[in-house]
Amino acid sequence: MVSNKILIVDDETINIKTLSNLLKDDGQLIFARSGEDAITQARSVIPDLILLDVIMPGMNGHDVCKVLKEDPVTKDIPIIFITALNDTKDEEIGLTLGAIDYIHKPFQPGIVKLRVANHLQLKSQHDTLERLAAELSIEVNQLINSEREISHLATHDALTGLPNRILLNDRFQASVKTAKRTQEKISVMFIDLDGFKEVNDTLGHLFGDELLKSIAEKLVTHVREMDTVARFGGDEFVILLPNIYGTELLEERIADKLLQVIREPFEFEGKATRISASIGIATYPHQGDNINSLLLAADEAMYRVKKAGKNNFSTSETI
């Protein structure tokens, strides 16, 4: 068990000796003969309790107490004033400065030992509560972080970090509410990588995973901030494009740009490849009023691109 550290501050040798004999079994005793020395010792050893004489030459006990209580390092150290004064006004001043108790001279051995023991016990309990509070705070933060991680995993793809189908559907529903008020269009873009299975088979699944993460980053970089890029599964991605006005061909311009960046060379651990994509586009409300019907229409448009030679995009036919 770690011994309590008690700092005894008194300029008179007789008082130091008396308290030393009384408290020798109560902890590790440290001594200071002046106010300045007391401050230095307190900051250095961080005692569990300070017995501080009120009347000393130079800095008196009140001055020392004020300095220690203003210092973040020493402000929580309990201080018991030692005094020969029998003055309630003086005690009021000391308690106002932050002392927790008074011991009067001449010393009554039983009272000194009991008061020191009681305050050391209170300090120990205080330290234990602070430690438990800190541990509890860490556990609570870990629990909060775990819940956030679980919540994130429930709505995001584990490999790429992109939104998954659940979050895609939530954002589509929110976009529909806005579109109904503003008469805007919403486009859904279905992207399937061309020849991804061959990449996995020839260059390995680790290479394929890194390729998927790279493409995910490129897709996010080349759409608007309001758009949602989601991983639909395997080598399939879906992009939700809200806030499209009138006959604007924004989705087609975006699709053309995405085809270019997907074709850029990719290299990982000394291996390199190029890959292309086929993209199908469907638009709310013309090709459907829910995410499933739009995905189906976009998927059909994408397959028409596959049959026509891949590496292109196609818009869905109006229902």
- Give, as one character, the DSSP assignment of residue 301: H
Q: Cβ of 74: how many Cβ atoms within 10 Å?
A: 17
Ordered DSSP codes for 224-289: -TT-EEEEEETTEEEEEEEEE-TT--HHHHHHHHHHHHHTS-EEETTEEE--EEEEEEEEETTT-S
Tell me how long the chain is: 319
For residues 107 and 10, the answer to whether their CB atoms sit within 8 Å is: no
**Active-site hit among 10, 194, 227, 235:** 235
Residues 96, 98, 101, 104, CA torsion sign:
negative
- Give, as one character, the DSSP assignment of residue 4: P
235 catalytic? Reply is: yes
Residues 66, 67, 69, 70, CA torsion sign:
positive
Active site residues: 235
